[in-house]
Amino acid sequence: MHIEEIEKFIANKITEEEAFVKISFKKRDPVYGLFVKDKDYNFLKSKNFWRIVTRNGFEEYSKSKNMALARMFSGSEFSKLTSIKDMSEI
């Protein structure tokens, strides 16, 4: 996916209450995660890289906000983003 598509999804679909998304990839199984913003967010975004806390780290991240729990993903490998809300409506 292109930076603009991902940015539009984050702006329009992600809210404080419903921040978790399903990230489908072109060549691997989907990941459930939470996009997180750190000091280098704009720099990484310009390169189409995104920090995401995966399902395994949700609980700990919500308590500690520890950025070490986030993994980097290349947006060019994304095929589709789906909000948890949209998945529950299916």
**What six digits make up the tokens of 54?**
């995966």
User: What is the distance between the alpha carbons of residues 47 and 24, in angstroms, rounded to a whole number?
Assistant: 19
Closest CA to 41 of 80, 7, 78: 7
- Beta carbons of 75 and 35 less than 8 angstroms apart: no
Q: Is the pLDDT of residue 89 over 60?
A: no
Which tens digits make up the pLDDT trace of 62-74?
899 999 999 999 9
Domains and CATH numbers, the chain: 3-88 (2.30.30)
Does the reported pTM lie above 0.95?
A: no
Closest CA to 58 of 86, 13, 20: 20
How many helical (H) and strand (E) elements, i.e. helices and strands, does the chain have?
A: 4, 5
What mean pLDDT comes out for the span 21-27? Answer: 96
